[in-house]
């Protein structure tokens, strides 16, 4: 009595060619799609006016720029004065009503909560800010903490 297979019999083998074909097609698809998935951040640069403004003319401007600072611990300051989140929109409306420009300079501390900073920017937009500029260095003539 013989145990196992007889000599010379064919053993079944799995055909991996379709599997390799599918994997290669997926690899090509991902290689094509991956560069398209990068996020773009578009910045609209204002057109330069014909009349150049000199540094002396900028320093003679009596209204200081509006600087909104978001610190760690969910603190908000507008030009150095503490403001609550609930009163931010109304305060900015009053400040923008007294100004010709509706430009707000936004400054966030390194340890500020990102989600809270976005909510503050939304409130600033609702308060009348047309242009929100992100500060990377302190402005001269602006009050920042």
Distances from the Cα of 73 to the Cαs of 45, 70, 110, 111, 117, in angstroms? Answer: 33, 9, 11, 8, 11
DSSP-assigned states of every residue in 57-68? HHHT-SSPPEEE
Which of the four pLDDT bands, split at 50, 70 and 90, describes residue 83?
very high
Give per-residue pLDDT as tens, 28-69.
999 998 887 776 666 666 676 666 656 666 566 667 889 999
pLDDT for position 34: 86
> CA dihedral defined by 103, 109, 115, 116, rounded to 10 degrees?
-70
Residue 20 has pLDDT above 90, yes or no: yes
0.85 surpassed by pTM? no
In the structure encoding, which two tokens stand for residue 60, read together? 């003679």
| Separation CA 71–CA 116 (nearest Å) | 10
pLDDT over 70 percentage in the chain: 72
pLDDT over 90 percentage in the chain: 43
Query: CATH number of the domain at 70-134, out of 3.30.420, 3.10.450, 3.90.1720, 3.40.50?
Result: 3.30.420
| Separation CA 31–CA 137 (nearest Å) | 39
């Amino acid at each position: 009595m013989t145990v196992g297979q007889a000599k010379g019999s064919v053993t079944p083998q799995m055909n991996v060619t379709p599997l390799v074909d599918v994997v290669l097609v997926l690899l090509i698809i991902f290689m094509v799609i991956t560069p398209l998935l990068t996020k773009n951040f578009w910045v609209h640069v204002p057109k330069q006016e014909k009349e150049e403004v000199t540094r002396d003319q900028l320093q003679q401007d009596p209204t200081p720029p509006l600087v909104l600072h978001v610190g760690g611990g969910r603190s908000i300051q507008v030009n150095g004065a503490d403001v609550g989140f609930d009163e931010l929109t109304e305060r900015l409306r009053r400040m923008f009503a007294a100004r010709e420009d509706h430009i707000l300079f936004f400054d966030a501390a390194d340890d500020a909560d990102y989600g809270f900073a976005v909510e503050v920017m939304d409130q600033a937009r609702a308060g009348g800010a047309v242009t929100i500029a992100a500060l990377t260095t302190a402005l001269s003539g602006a009050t920042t903490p």
